[in-house]
Structure 1
Amino acid sequence: MPVTLPDLDYPHDGLEPYISKEIMCLHHLKHHQAYVTAYNAAEEALKKACTPKEQIRLQAAINFNGGGHINHSLFWKNLAPKASGKCEPCGGLKKAIVDGFGSVENFKKEFNDTTIAIQGSGWGWLVYNNKTKQIEITTTSNQDILIAKYCPIIGVDIWEHAFYLQYKNVKKDYLDAIWNVINFEEAERRYQCAASGKPECGSL
């Protein structure tokens, strides 16, 4: 089945002043839509591909654009207007963060330091490790998706299209600002789902 661009749970200006309306419109309606369009086109072309070389080439396009769709769909759910009251850690996730990193502030600093070190484009993640049963920070390159042992709790897009119009080349300012609109209510839901062993923890 073709994938479609998901609606946001807030207006495009709902994350201001931390993420501008201009960025959100471009990011959601243009960049994410481009991944959706390219993924659907590659899937359709794969049905008609006649040679292994064609199939391999198309599979690379499917992986890249499918990853772009999956990662962005998770990202939009990760965000919420500051005024919504969802932007503070809560519940079991807050306890896991304090146990694992010493404090919420230490966690944010370690997350930002790890994410800002990505060379080129990619994503910073707080994940639940299904093997260790612990939360940890990891990164992925480009539009790679998380490997199977991880359930996404929080993901932050560090591609330039996510911040450049507002923060220019200062990634640190973007990463510092985004915590004002991280949806910790959604993060808590994902954490509880993952910790209970449910496979749908990171599903769209």
Structure 2
Amino acid sequence: MAFELVKLNYAYDALEPVIDKETMEFHHDKHHQTYVNNLNNLIKDTVFEEASLEEILTHLDHAPEDKKNGIKNNVGGVFNHNVFWESMTPGGSKEPIGEIAKKIDEKFGNFEAFKEEFNKKGAGQFGSGWVWLISDKEGNIDVIATPNQDCPISCGKIILLGNDVWEHAYYLKYQNRRAEYLKEWWKVVNWDIVEQRYQNRNHNECSCGCGC
């Protein structure tokens, strides 16, 4: 079962002026597609050939030793970007809703303090990586950053929201101004999907064939 590049739910220019059309085209059609192609090649004739992205990410110890790093990097590249595209919507949805809004207030005090912590972690990630709002199955939330294409679900966490801080995500418009990109990005966040992910945090079960 070969993975395919996900289709965007909006036009390439729909997130402007926050993210420009050219960046979206390169990011989705080139960078993300490359991760998809690499992953399909790497998992051929392995235990992961019929597995889902989630199953691969949570069972990386079953990867062939000579392919382990490649599979880890590319399955993260595919999954993380899938989350990223879905985390955004034209015009954004302004503020958190439902249970996740309450959890953010409980954890961080208020929405502005949460955004400050998220932006701080994203700006402070050395080199390439991601910044995330995550949850555990009990519903406890936190903000973390991860390097490269590392994915929080490999450590048993549930992704609620993620922003890409690799330079290819913002450099054409913002150059070295990552902090400005992080600040502007809130204008396109899809809080409906964040709440949906929080509500569904206990609904993922493993059915892979890797002997777990």
TM-score normalised over the length of structure 2: 0.84
2:28 is aligned with 1:21: no
1:198 corresponds to: 203
1:76 corresponds to: 85
Task: Give per-residue Cα distances to partners, 1:20-58, cap 9 Å, x unaligned.
Answer: 0011000000000000011111223759xxxxxxx4232
1:157 to 135, 149, 164: 164
Preserved contact between residue 18 and residue 181 of structure 1 (Cα < 8 Å): yes
Preserved contact between residue 112 and residue 176 of structure 1 (Cα < 8 Å): yes
1:135 corresponds to: 141
Preserved contact between residue 80 and residue 87 of structure 1 (Cα < 8 Å): no
Cα distance in 2 for residues equivalent to 1:46 and 1:58 = 10
- RMSD (Å) for aligned C-alpha atoms: 1.6
1:52 corresponds to: none
Cα distance in 2 for residues equivalent to 1:44 and 1:152 = 27
2:8 is aligned with 1:8: yes
Amino acid at match of 1:164: Y
Structure 2 spans left out of the alignment, 5+ residues? 48-63, 206-212
Task: Give per-residue Cα distances to partners, 1:61-89, cap 9 Å, x unaligned.
Answer: 1111111001000111001001xx63421
Cα distance in 1 for residues equivalent to 2:173 and 2:41 = 32
Preserved contact between residue 125 and residue 138 of structure 1 (Cα < 8 Å): yes
1:113 corresponds to: 120
2:179 corresponds to: 172
Cα distance, 1:129 vs. partner?
A: 2.0
SS of the residue 1:65 aligns to = helix
TM-score normalised over the length of structure 1: 0.87
* 4+ aligned runs moved over 3 Å, structure 1: none
Q: Quote the sequence identity (%).
A: 40
Amino acid at match of 1:139: A
